[in-house]
């Protein structure tokens, strides 16, 4: 699938400390230790509706990682999927009387536009579920052969399931106890009641063909991919195991990332799927998590069309810490717009206070688990000084402008 167009990133003199991030599995902030090439897989959208600010917040968080790595001289291999085969697409397409493929293609196109406008650096590989079905078939075949997967005893619908206890370390990523797993598995797309499963939390790998659903041929029977195996297959085949970061919103901690890692680790024994599991907090609106099912959505495309500067959207979302669940309000946007105006006025000055120390602070705060509130406070400080007292350094405004562009993706 086509990614979106590349975005120019200015080079900023100097360098910052290496990136440290909170790892969900180890429950601590620790250094990310990529080689020359850093590798990241971030779970992409299920394209049945437009991108909302919650999605945007998650992709913007990983965009900061991408930018910090590049600033540190790494090449970045960034892979993202598109879950373009899934129940919500079929349901929405049926409701609207359109083909589910057309719906997916349309929403992916809108997502690309939203990401470009938000200046999110594109993944090098942007991969749909439809185009990776064969990869899933191969993995499911291997999991069946190794005994990590089984076919339910149902001649009509011989679905394939993953034995959740196929790896010794199952559960390490979320760290949840069994009661929490049972609850979240049922809430987040699992099917604990499916007759014939060996355990309620065994996860679907391959759904045998049903009337009215798309299906693809496979040696173990025609059908379509389960959800977690899609991300396991797409990541494994492009960045292998022990890649640097597996990312997404915190609603993916369990079951999605627990099972995608377990599937991969059952195939490649002794290797941890990702070295860091990184999760962004969830954005709420009007008191509740922004979600398609609740309908309390602020769409990026609608904000854009009403003339909201994408840089203000970035500043609004960065005014809170990426791991914190937080609310988007009218005030968030108003504060961001005012901040953007101040920054623009300050970098338009002919000179200002020296900016080197400020840029060093911004790098330091971002490298410390993406502490955007502190990074913005350092910039506020420089802008306030510049606007109140001016300063002697004629190169400072351009340095701030480039640093804010390169590190935060905000264009002043």
Residue 161 or 254: which CB sits closer to ligand 5CA? 254
- In terms of Cβ atoms closer than 10 Å to its own Cβ (0-12, 13-18, 19+), residue 301 is middle
Residue 116 or 291: which CB sits closer to ligand 5CA? 291
Q: How far is the CB of 88 from ligand 5CA (least distance, A)?
A: 8
Chain residues that interact with ligand 5CA, rule: CB under 6 A: 43-46, 54-55, 57-58, 81, 83, 231, 248-249, 251-252, 280, 282-283, 289-291
Q: How far is the CB of 262 from ligand 5CA (least distance, A)?
A: 15
> Which residues make Cβ contacts (< 8 Å) with residue 383, sequence separation at least 6?
342, 343, 345, 346, 400
Q: How far is the CB of 51 from Zn ion (least distance, A)?
A: 16
DSSP 321-383: -TTS-EE--HHHHHHHHHHHHHHHHHHTSS-BS--HHHHHHHHHHHHBT--HHHHHHHHHHHH
Nearest Cα to Cα of residue 69 among 16, 22, 119 = 16
* Alpha carbon distances (Å) from 293 to 49, 54, 280, 288: 11, 13, 20, 11
Q: How far is the CB of 95 from Zn ion (least distance, A)?
A: 24
Signed CA dihedral, 70, 72, 74, 76: sign only: negative
Residue 43 or 383: which CB sits closer to Zn ion? 43
Q: In what order do the strands lie in the sheet with 203-208?
A: 149-151, 160-162, 203-208, 223-225
* Alpha carbon distances (Å) from 391 to 137, 205, 342: 63, 62, 16
Angle (nearest 5°) at CA 43 between 38 and 45: 135
* Alpha carbon distances (Å) from 10 to 13, 70, 313, 376: 10, 10, 21, 19
Distance CA(224)–CA(214), nearest Å, equals 7
290 interacts with, out of ligand 5CA, Zn ion, none, CB within 5 to 8 A per kind: ligand 5CA
251 interacts with, out of ligand 5CA, Zn ion, none, CB within 5 to 8 A per kind: ligand 5CA
Q: How far is the CB of 4 from ligand 5CA (least distance, A)?
A: 16
Q: How far is the CB of 226 from Zn ion (least distance, A)?
A: 11
Query: Interface with Zn ion includes 231 (CB under 5 A)?
Result: yes
Q: Which of residues 41-80 bind Zn ion (CB under 5 A)?
A: 43
Name the one range near Zn ion by CB under 5 A: 36-44, 159-167, 203-211, 354-362. 36-44
297 interacts with, out of Zn ion, ligand 5CA, none, CB within 5 to 8 A per kind: none
Contact (CB, 8 A) for 303 and 50: no
Contact (CB, 8 A) for 246 and 276: yes
Residue 282 or 312: which CB sits closer to ligand 5CA? 282
Distance CA(85)–CA(367), nearest Å, equals 36
Residue 79 or 396: which CB sits closer to ligand 5CA? 79
Q: How far is the CB of 283 from ligand 5CA (least distance, A)?
A: 4
Tell me the site size for Zn ion, rule CB under 5 A: 2
Residue 100 or 150: which CB sits closer to ligand 5CA? 100
Residue 126 or 285: which CB sits closer to Zn ion? 126
Give the number of other CB atoms < 10 A from CB of residue 213. 14
Q: Both ends of the chain: CA-CA distance in Å?
A: 32
Name the one range near Zn ion by CB under 5 A: 23-31, 38-46, 194-202, 402-410. 38-46
Q: How far is the CB of 407 from ligand 5CA (least distance, A)?
A: 21
Q: Which of residues 83-122 bind Zn ion (CB under 5 A)?
A: none
Name the one range near Zn ion by CB under 5 A: 48-56, 59-67, 136-144, 228-236. 228-236
- In terms of Cβ atoms closer than 10 Å to its own Cβ (0-12, 13-18, 19+), residue 198 is exposed
Q: How far is the CB of 84 from Zn ion (least distance, A)?
A: 12
Distance CA(119)–CA(121), nearest Å, equals 6
Q: How far is the CB of 46 from ligand 5CA (least distance, A)?
A: 4
Residue nearest to Zn ion (CB): 43
352 interacts with, out of Zn ion, ligand 5CA, none, CB within 5 to 8 A per kind: none
233 interacts with, out of ligand 5CA, Zn ion, none, CB within 5 to 8 A per kind: none
Residue 143 or 233: which CB sits closer to ligand 5CA? 233
The residues binding Zn ion (CB under 5 A) are 43, 231
């Amino acid at each position: 699938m086509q990614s979106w167009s590349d975005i120019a990133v200015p080079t900023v003199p100097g360098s910052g400390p290496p990136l440290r991030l909170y790892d969900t599995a180890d429950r601590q902030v620790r250094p990310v230790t990529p080689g020359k090439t850093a590798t990241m897989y971030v779970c992409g959208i299920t394209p049945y509706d437009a991108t909302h600010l919650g999605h945007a917040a998650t992709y913007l968080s990983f965009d900061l990682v991408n930018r910090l790595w590049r600033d540190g001289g790494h090449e970045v291999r960034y892979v993202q999927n598109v879950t373009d085969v899934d129940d919500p697409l079929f349901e929405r397409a049926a409701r609207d009387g359109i083909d589910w493929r057309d719906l997916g293609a349309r929403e992916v196109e809108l997502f690309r536009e939203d990401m470009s406008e938000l200046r999110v650096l594109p993944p090098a590989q942007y991969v749909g579920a439809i185009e990776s079905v064969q990869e899933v078939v191969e993995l499911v075949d291997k999991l069946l052969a190794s005994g990590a997967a089984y076919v339910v005893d149902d001649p009509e619908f011989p679905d394939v399931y993953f034995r959740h206890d196929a790896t010794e370390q199952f559960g390490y990523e979320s760290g949840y106890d069994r009661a929490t797993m049972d609850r979240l598995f049922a809430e987040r797309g699992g099917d604990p009641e499916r007759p014939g499963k060996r355990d309620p939390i065994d996860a679907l790998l391959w759904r045998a063909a049903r009337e009215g659903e798309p299906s693809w041929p496979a040696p173990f029977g025609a059908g379509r991919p389960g959800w977690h195996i899609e991300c396991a297959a797409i990541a494994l085949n492009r960045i292998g195991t022990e890649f640097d970061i597996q990312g997404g919103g915190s609603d993916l901690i369990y079951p999605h990332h627990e099972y995608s890692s377990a599937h991969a680790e059952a195939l490649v024994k002794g290797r941890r799927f990702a070295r860091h599991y990184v999760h962004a907090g969830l954005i709420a609106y009007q008191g509740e998590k922004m979600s398609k099912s609740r309908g309390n959505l602020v769409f990026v495309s609608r904000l854009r069309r009403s003339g909201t500067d994408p840089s203000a959207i970035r500043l609004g979302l960065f005014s809170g810490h990426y791991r914190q669940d937080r609310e988007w309000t009218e005030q968030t946007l108003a504060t961001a717009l005012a901040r953007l105006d101040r920054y623009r006025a300050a970098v338009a000055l002919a000179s200002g206070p020296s900016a080197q120390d400020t840029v060093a602070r911004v790098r330091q705060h971002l490298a410390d688990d993406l502490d955007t509130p502190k990074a913005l406070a350092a910039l506020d400080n420089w802008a306030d000084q510049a606007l109140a007292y001016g300063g002697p350094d004629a190169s400072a405004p351009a340095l701030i402008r480039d640093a804010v562009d390169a590190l935060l993706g905000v264009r002043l």
